[in-house]
Amino acid sequence: MINLTDENFDKEISNAQKPVLVDFWAVWCGPCSFLAPVLEKLSEEYKEKIIFAKVNIDDSPVISQKLGIDRIPNVVFFKDGKVLGGFVGAQPEEAIKKLLEGFLKGGDDGDSSKLIREYEEYALKNGFKLNPDKKIVEGVVKSLLDRENKFGEKYCPCRRITGNREEDKKIVCPCIYHKEEVEKDGFCFCRLFVKI
């Protein structure tokens, strides 16, 4: 794994010939210590396909702040210099491998496009439409896919996950609140769906 700093981060990411997985960590972080050997092992397994790197947030506060890293461990996947996704917290090896395979196959973009089409159809059937602002739709869908990778469900990104699976079913997108919100406010809380 290569060490990235405030000084070399942008150059290394933009000049990388392969996708780059970056682990934002700190010495004092317990979950980071748990995740490190998993990523080290995966770096060997994927060395032909992915560059594995790490950033100590205490030594490199500028890049951490620039990318909005506010919780660690925080793993971010870059391809062609752009963020494709990632995860927060220590994850099991199999979950990380599944995520990596999806990124390598371009599955994130494919999954996003597929989900957007599904939500377009759903909206039309229910008398509303997707937000015409593509950036908002793409942002919400990316968050939904990130939450699915992390928590196993496409939980609404604008609502807090309680950890009670029965209670949290209410916020799986499309959540139980969206129709009432679109009718009352003209859009759902996430602004994914809007009134026609």
CB 75 within 8 A of CB 40: no
Joined tokens for residue 169? 């079913």
Residues known to be catalytic: 29, 32
Joined tokens for residue 95? 């979950």
Return the closest-CA partner of residue 98 out of 139, 140, 47, 152: 152
Find the CATH number of the domain harbouring 92: 3.40.30.10
Please count the structural domains in the chain: 2
Domain boundary among 85, 104, 123: 104
Same-domain pairing of 10 and 55: yes
Same-domain pairing of 100 and 111: no
Nearest-angstrom CA–CA distance, 17 and 72? 26
Same-domain pairing of 95 and 114: no
Q: Please name the residue ranges forming H helices in 107-189.
A: 107-125, 134-151, 165-168, 178-185
Return the closest-CA partner of residue 55 out of 34, 41, 37, 69: 69
Residue whose token pair is 């997108």: 173
Domain containing residue 87: 2-104
Domain boundary among 84, 104, 124: 104
Same-domain pairing of 83 and 119: no
Return the closest-CA partner of residue 192 out of 108, 112, 123, 114: 123
What is the chain's pLDDT, residue by residue, as a tens digit (196 residues)? 999 999 999 999 999 999 999 999 999 999 999 999 999 999 999 999 999 999 999 999 999 999 888 889 999 999 888 888 788 888 889 889 988 888 887 654 456 878 888 999 999 999 999 999 988 998 899 889 888 877 888 999 888 888 898 999 999 999 999 999 999 999 999 999 999 8
pLDDT at 111: 67
| 138 phi-psi bin (left φ>0, alpha ψ -120 to 50, beta other) | alpha
pLDDT at 108: 47
Same-domain pairing of 77 and 11: yes
Nearest-angstrom CA–CA distance, 195 and 190? 13
Find the CATH number of the domain harbouring 122: 3.90.460.10
Helical pair 107-125 and 93-104, crossing angle rounded to 10 deg: 80
Q: Name the pTM for this structure.
A: 0.58
CA atoms within 13 A on the CB side of 38: 18
